[in-house]
Amino acid sequence: MKILALDTSTEYLSLALWQDGSIACREQLAGQKHSTLLLPLIRELLDECGLQLKNLNGIVFGEGPGSFTGLRIGCGVAQGLAFGAGLPVIGVCTLEALAQQAGAARVIACLDARMNEVYHAAYEREDNAWRTVLPPGLYPPPQVPTLEGAGWCAIGSGWDNFGPALDAVYGTQINTKIAGAHPLARYMAELAAPGFAHGEGLAPSLAAPLYVRNKVAFTISEREAKK
């Protein structure tokens, strides 16, 4: 099984080429340059592994939530490459990818959504797969939904930037925090591999971003009202 995975949901650009569990990666702080860096880095990664797109079994992309522009770029490139090579695609939630990265049994994943909000989800590991306890949602940090039980791991830029507000909700329910984490393509490939193996990949035309939020920024009047 050979899978190309890509994520452009944050300011980081992350690529992975998964070959039967062996992974080659590229990661770069791209800022606003995803559209110019993505295709050359994919070509570089394929060349390094001696592969062409036609040799792959599928393409994975970070479907969101995340940056609107980044999600459109990632989904569009995945669609275009998959269509040209006749490959299926699978979109992986960026928050679930963070849970996979955390390596814990219970994970609260939060990404900074800007506008003083976070993208939030909670997962539990069951039978070597993730069960969604709370689905991806958008909240002001003090208003994230409560959870039962203890032993939760906290991961994602939402925790880095709004830690005290989130701690006020969860308190001693959190026993581990992973700082500085962002969604990584290698974990998206791990999550998608069983789906490709069972023929669950989608036609490229069916790929779509998971936005969660339907608004990109405050209006001028809203910004003034917050002063």
Same domain flag for 50 and 121: no
Domain for residue 219, yes or no? no
Is residue 194 a part of any domain in this protein? yes
Whether 86 and 116 map to the same domain: the answer is: no
Q: Are 80 and 113 within one domain?
A: no
Average pLDDT over residues 53-62: 97
Q: Tens digits of per-residue pLDDT, 196-216?
A: 999 999 999 999 999 998 644
Instruction: Find the mean pLDDT for residues 147-168.
Output: 98
Over residues 170-182, the mean pLDDT reads 97
Whether residues 75 and 156 share a domain: the answer is no
Is there a single domain that holds both residue 88 and residue 102? no
Q: Give the per-residue pLDDT at 78.
A: 98
pLDDT at 222 over 90: no
Q: Within this chain, do residues 90 and 200 fall inside the same structural domain, yes or no?
A: yes
Residue 217's pLDDT is 40
Residues 75 and 145 in one domain: no
Average the pLDDT over each of 19-23, 159-163, 213-217 and give the range with the smallest value.
213-217
User: Is 44 inside any structural domain?
Assistant: yes
Do 114 and 155 reside in the same domain of the chain?
yes
Residue 223 has pLDDT above 50, yes or no: no
Q: Is 151 exposed, middle or buried (0-12, 13-18, 19+ CB in 10 A)?
A: exposed
Asked whether residue 19 falls in the same domain as residue 74, the answer is: yes
Q: Quick one: 114 and 69 in the same domain?
A: no
Average pLDDT rounded to a whole number, residues 210-223: 56
- Domain assignment present for residue 42? The answer is yes
Lowest mean pLDDT, pick from 70-74, 187-191, 223-227: 223-227
- The per-residue pLDDT for 213 is 82
For residue 127, being part of any structural domain is answered with yes
Mark whether 155 and 109 lie in a shared domain.
yes
What CATH number does residue 172 fall under?
3.30.420.40
Q: Higher-confidence residue: 59 or 128?
A: 59
Q: Is residue 9 part of a domain?
A: yes
Q: Identify the CA nearest to 118 among candidates 79, 162, 85, 151.
A: 162
Residue 74 placed within a domain = yes
* Cα 109 from chain centroid (whole Å): 10
Query: Domain tally for the chain?
Result: 2
Q: Looking at the predicted structure, is the pLDDT value of residue 31 above 80?
A: yes
Confidence category of residue 218, pLDDT binned at 50, 70, 90: very low
Together in a domain, 104 and 134: yes
Single pTM value for the model: 0.92
Which tens digit of pLDDT belongs to each residue from 184-194? 999 999 999 99
pLDDT at 214: 65
Residue 213, in any domain of the structure: no
What domain range includes position 127?
A: 95-178
